[in-house]
Chain A
Amino acid sequence: MGDYAYAAPTSLEEALSVLESQANDGQRTQILAGGTDVLVQMRSIDKEPRTLVDIKQIAETNELSIGADEIFIGAAIPSAALNENDELKGLLPGLIEAADLIGSTQIQGRATIGGNLCNSSPAGDTIPALVVVSAVCVIASPGGSREVAVGDFVTGVGQNCLGSNEFLVGLKIPRPGNNSADAYLRFIPRTEMDIAVAGAGVALTLDDGGTCTSARVAIGAVAPTVLLVEAASAALVGTKVDDDALNAAAAACSDAASPITDKRGTVEYRKKVVGVLCKRAGGIARDRASS
């Protein structure tokens, strides 16, 4: 059994070199951002000692920029800080709502979108929200950096495409236009403090007449990874996103879902509720895009 160790590199290069040298020493590493998943898992599921590499001291992981074409959200920014940024909230209300759903006020003070993504849980709330806004992961690699679409980042339950010598620096998101909006809803048995039983994100663009010209619908907690539901998107495009269209999208989500029965919900429950969430989130996104 090795030892626990802690490192807080202050640059991308230093962080990469810590990962590299630990790997060379045969030491296991673990990237630490908000720690709200990592520390819990380290104490219960996988207690094996490791070196914790805290990426919060790195400038790039703390960067938040809202450009004319692109938004960048550093991987170490806590959800609470994102929620306090009114401009960001106005541009990506669904994503920020999804981030805001992760745990309590206390958890919000630590948890990051990047961490939620890297934890790669099927139930991660921000993942469907990121997928629908076509977010791209910016990954620090020994060779420099590489980019991967969020939809391709998560490869399985708790698994993603990061190498042991890589880490997530942040997320790039195309800046939504005026007639575009997103929304995310999840279902939990309480009002707070739960893991999603099902989740649905919807991003829409409407033309001036209110007809949907493009749509992305993604669902979470109903399959090993988040699903982008093309059939649901297709059901919305070309419509006014009325009840019929939303019901069709909902049905497509329910059909696409392939959940499991566990302590948080049954297969039948999740399939039905993910449709309900799609319908409700779609309505919210429509109202936002048309206002």
Chain B
Amino acid sequence: MSKLHVTTSVNGQPEEVLCEPHQSLLDVLRDELGLTGTKEGCSTGDCGACSVTLDGRLVCSCLVLAAEAEGKEVGTIEGVANPDGLHVLQQKFLEHAALQCGICTPGFIVAAKVLLERDPNPDETTIRYWLAGNLCRCTGYDKIIRAVQDAATELAHEA
């Protein structure tokens, strides 16, 4: 099987990887680039644990071939915090105890960040539907929704 040479950008850093044609972006992020913050929960696009952005759009990295990332910008959980510290969403997830086991947390934060970039003031229903592709089995979602609402409020104040 011939490997493919893929040039992409991950969290703003140029990356070059050799990958198999069938390998998913998730596999390559985790196995080739060591970015294990993106989690695998199902490999069928049903749990959202592997959420990343691809040219700014929210996707499940299990349903993207690594080869498709050629020339694109990939954003993962590792790129959410900045050198000054945690992103507001990360801080709010902590303050609201919006995680228990934490396996779904990176996916939720990546997804919620895209939401707030598009809709700075989403109502509860909007948040719930936007995040419907991110399964959490621990929290019953309540504290996650509140964390996102609180982050939106804080970001609005900052703006």
Q: Say yes or no: B45 contacts A106, CB within 8 Å.
A: yes
Q: How large is the interface on A (under 10, 10 to 19, 20 to 34, 35 or more residues)?
A: 20 to 34
Q: Which residues of B contact A110 (CB under 8 A)?
A: 59-60, 63-64
Across the interface, name the chain A residue whose C-beta is closest to B55: A109
Contacts of A39 in B (CB 8 A): 24, 62-63, 65
Q: In the complex where A8-B70, A39-B24, A109-B57 touch, is A104 in contact with B65 (Cβ < 8 A)? A: no
In the assembled complex, how far is the CB of residue A119 from the closest CB belonging to chain B, in whole angstroms?
Answer: 13
Interface residues of A in 85-114 (CB under 8 A from B): 103-107, 109-110
Which residues, 1 to 52 on B, are CB-close (under 8 Å) to A? 1-2, 4, 20-22, 24, 43-46, 48, 51
Residue from A40, A49, A54 in contact with B44 in the complex, judged by beta carbons closer than 8 Å: A40
**Judging by beta carbons under 8 Å apart, are A32 and B65 in contact?**
yes
Q: List, in ascending order, chain A residues with CB within 8 A of B4's CB.
A: 6
Q: Is the CB of B57 within 8 A of A36?
A: no
B44 CB contacts on chain A under 8 angstroms: 40, 43-44
Contacts of B68 in A (CB 8 A): 8, 32, 35, 54, 56
Chain A residues with CB below 8 A from B64, complex form: 35, 110
A42 within 8 A of B: yes
Chain B hits for A49, CB < 8 A:
22
B132 contacts A192, C-beta separation under 8 Å = yes
B152 CB, nearest partner CB in chain A, Å: 16
Q: In this complex, what residue of B is CB-closest to A3?
A: B1
Q: Is the CB of B67 within 8 A of A106?
A: no
Given contacts A8-B70, A42-B22, 6 further A-B contacts (CB under 8 A): A4-B22, A5-B2, A40-B43, A105-B133, A110-B59, A192-B132
A binding-site residues for B, Cβ under 8 Å: 3-6, 8, 32, 34-36, 39-40, 42-44, 49, 52, 54, 56, 78, 80, 103-107, 109-110, 191-193
